[in-house]
Amino acid sequence: MSLSHALMTSLLEKSSSGYDLARRFEKSIGYFWSATHQQIYRELARMEKAGWIASEAAPDGGRTRKKLYKVLEAGRTELQRWAREPAPLLDIRDEFMVRLRADAAIGPLGLAPELKRRLQLHRTKLAAYQAFEARDFPDHATLSREARIQHLILKTGLMYEESWVRWCEEALVVLAQDETCSPEEVTAPGA
């Protein structure tokens, strides 16, 4: 997998400890790629063993156990090699689609509340991305290559959330045509 390469990319941007990486993966990076701290520690240990990264005690005079990881030349080379490999398209694999199929197969299951919850979550995320965009990419012409690529990545999230917001709104209309009855009233046709 590529968690190791995601971590190295993050370390190239800024040398960090496992703990810091875990927090970054919960926040900005985590909007596009999530990982638990256990995954991260495990992967850091492997990468150090492989000679891709090296750690040293944090420059705090030994007051904490904190380790600072930095990418070695071998790691940089590996990242370049890997980046040129073809990347698999991610598949959708959305559990909610399975639920919709089940709803179609065995009758109204009362999915509207869940759909509303999801719509709300997507709207929240969209607003967060729009705020990022306004803050970090205010002008259009004067950006560096690096900034333009980071903007491109952010636009993936914007595109994604915009699409889901529209889709949820449409789905609510479709479900509303049938779910005038409450979920409690549903009976299994095969029962």
Residues that bind DNA (CB under 7 A): 1, 3, 17-20, 22, 34-39, 41-42, 44-45, 58, 63-67
Cα(79)–Cα(74) distance, integer angstroms: 9
At which residue do the structure tokens 């012409």 appear? 141
Decide whether 63 or 93 has the Cβ nearer to a copy of itself.
93
Q: Which amino acid is at 191?
A: A
- For the chain, helix, strand, coil in percent to 5 are 60, 5, 30
Shortest Cβ distance from residue 61 to a copy of itself (Å)?
A: 28
DSSP character string of 6-38: HHHHHHHHS-B-HHHHHHHHHTTGGGT----HH
Pick from 43, 118, 119, 126 the residue near a copy of itself by CB under 8 A.
118
Q: What is the dihedral of CA 125, 159, 154, 9, to 10 degrees?
A: 100
Decide whether 83 or 127 has the Cβ nearer to a copy of itself.
83
> Segment 49-78, which members bind a copy of itself (CB under 8 A)?
73, 76-77
What does 89 interact with, of a copy of itself, DNA, none (CB < 5 to 8 A by kind)?
a copy of itself
Site track 30-49 with a copy of itself (rule: CB under 8 A), x = hit: -xxxx---------------
